[in-house]
Amino acid sequence: MAGGNILVVDDDKKTVATIKLYLENAGFEVSVAHDGRQALEAARAAPPDLVVLDLMLPLVSGMDVCRMLRAESDVPVIMLTARTTEDDKLRGLRLGADDYITKPFSPRELVARVRTVLRRAAPKPQRARLQFGELTVDLERHQVRLRDRDISLTPAEFRVLESLARSPGRVFNRQELVERAFGYDYEGLDRTIDAHIKNLRKKIEPDRLHPSRILTVHGVGYKFSAGSDDA
């Protein structure tokens, strides 16, 4: 089927059957699981394009399934649950869920949400190399060169630099940089970004005390300058 493969996880077999029927009618291929352990096994055996995941599951909870899936892949997750409190929703989103639907729900709305999340998650064409004067950021090789010499960066430093350099001129606060560089489930302090910025400036700035590439926007965060127009 052209719509993609959706893994539906819920211990209520009637709910699973309803979701499966509507998704298949919409052109999706559907696989199912009825507990958290089955869900993980199914996702690992045949990685789906999206997971519809109930929060309350036997054996392994939906929250734990989401956490483990997110640690292993970028598969989009729509959480499906009877819980409606804001804290529950935020917890699911912090674990990496892409959307949240509460029971009872409209199957047609669920199909629409699946389509929206898949569109949002579709890979976008990206340049493999970013060039800023004498500074080159090679995204495929995870390499940085400055004036024809290789700059040694840690994986974390590269992710921070990549996050900034993909959107020159845009100001990011610390939390946004954490989420872009390390994901929504990162548990470190957002102030660790300051340490990575300090190290990056030592390595790529001609004068780290007067930076011209990675700029501080006081009271907000940081931005990457591609040239004088961004300073």
For 137-162, what is each residue's pLDDT tens digit?
A: 998 888 999 998 999 988 889 989 99
Could you tell me which residues come within 8 angstroms of residue 19 by beta carbon, excluding any fewer than 6 positions away?
8, 10, 30, 52, 107, 110
For 88-116, what is each residue's pLDDT tens digit?
A: 666 666 667 788 888 888 999 999 999 98
Q: Are residues 74 and 134 in the same domain?
A: no
Considering only residues 125 and 61, tell me which one the structure prediction assigns the higher pLDDT.
Answer: 61
pLDDT at 80: 86
State how beta strands 50-54 and 77-81 pair: parallel
The pLDDT of 68-96, averaged and rounded, is 75
Q: Are residues 136 and 221 in the same domain?
A: yes
Is 79 within 8 Å of 62 (Cβ atoms)?
yes
Q: Are residues 99 and 160 in the same domain?
A: no
Q: Are residues 114 and 139 in the same domain?
A: no
Q: Are residues 98 and 181 in the same domain?
A: no
Q: Are residues 28 and 49 in the same domain?
A: yes
List the CATH number of the domain containing 225. 1.10.10.10
Last residue of a domain, one of 93, 121, 149: 121
List the CATH number of the domain containing 48. 3.40.50.2300
Q: Are residues 117 and 150 in the same domain?
A: no
Q: Are residues 154 and 180 in the same domain?
A: yes
Is 132 within 8 Å of 213 (Cβ atoms)?
yes
Q: Are residues 107 and 136 in the same domain?
A: no
Last residue of a domain, one of 121, 140, 169: 121
Asked if omega into 76 is within 30° of 0 (cis), the reply is no
Q: How confident is the model at residue 231 (pLDDT cuts 50, 70, 90)?
A: very low
Q: Are residues 103 and 27 in the same domain?
A: yes
pLDDT at 187 over 60: no
Is 48 within 8 Å of 75 (Cβ atoms)?
yes
- Expressed as residue numbers, the domain containing 87 is 5-121
Q: Are residues 112 and 13 in the same domain?
A: yes
Q: Are residues 31 and 97 in the same domain?
A: yes
Last residue of a domain, one of 65, 87, 121: 121
Is 80 within 8 Å of 55 (Cβ atoms)?
yes
Say how many domains are in the chain. Answer: 2
Q: What is the 3-state secondary structure (H, E, C) of 96-155?
A: CCCEEEECCCCHHHHHHHHHHHHHHHCCCCCCCEEEECCEEEECCCCEEEECCEEECCCH
